[in-house]
Chains A and B, each alone.
Chain A
Amino acid sequence: AQKVTQAQTEISVVEKEDVTLDCVYETRDTTYYLFWYKQPPSGELVFLIRRNSFDEQNEISGRYSWNFQKSTSSFNFTITASQVVDSAVYFCALISGGSQGNLIFGKGTKLSVKP
Chain B
Amino acid sequence: GAVVSQHPSRVICKSGTSVKIECRSLDFQATTMFWYRQFPKQSLMLMATSNEGSKATYEQGVEKDKFLINHASLTLSTLTVTSAHPEDSSFYICSASPQSYNEQFFGPGTRLTVL
Using CB atoms and an 8 Å cutoff, list the residues of chain A in contact with chain B.
33, 37, 42-45, 47, 50, 52, 91, 95, 99-103, 105-108
Contact = CB atoms under 8 A, between A and B. Distances in A.
Contact of B101 (A44, A101, A105, A106): A101
A45 B43 CA distance: 12
B102 A101 contact: yes
Given A43-B91, A44-B109, A45-B93, A101 B104 contact: yes
A91 B106 contact: no
Contacts of A50: 102-103
Given A91-B43, A91-B44, A103 B104 contact: yes
Contacts of A102: 46, 49
Interface string B32-46: 101000000011111
12 contacts: A43-B108, A43-B109, A43-B111, A44-B109, A45-B106, A47-B105, A47-B106, A50-B102, A100-B49, A100-B101, A101-B32, A101-B101
Nearest to A101: B101
Contact of A103 (B46, B91, B109): B46
Interface in B92-106: 93, 95, 97, 101-106
Contacts of B44: 45, 91, 103, 105
A91 B38 CA distance: 12
Interface of B: 32, 34, 42-46, 49, 91, 93, 95, 97, 101-106, 108-109, 111
Contacts of B42: 107
Q: Which 5 A-B pairs have the closest CB atoms?
A: A101-B101, A45-B106, A33-B102, A44-B108, A105-B43
Given A50-B102, A52-B102, A101 B43 contact: no
A3 to B, nearest CB: 12
B106 A44 contact: yes
B40 to A, nearest CB: 11
Interface centre among B103, B104, B105 (most CB of A within 10 A): B104
Contacts of B34: 101, 103
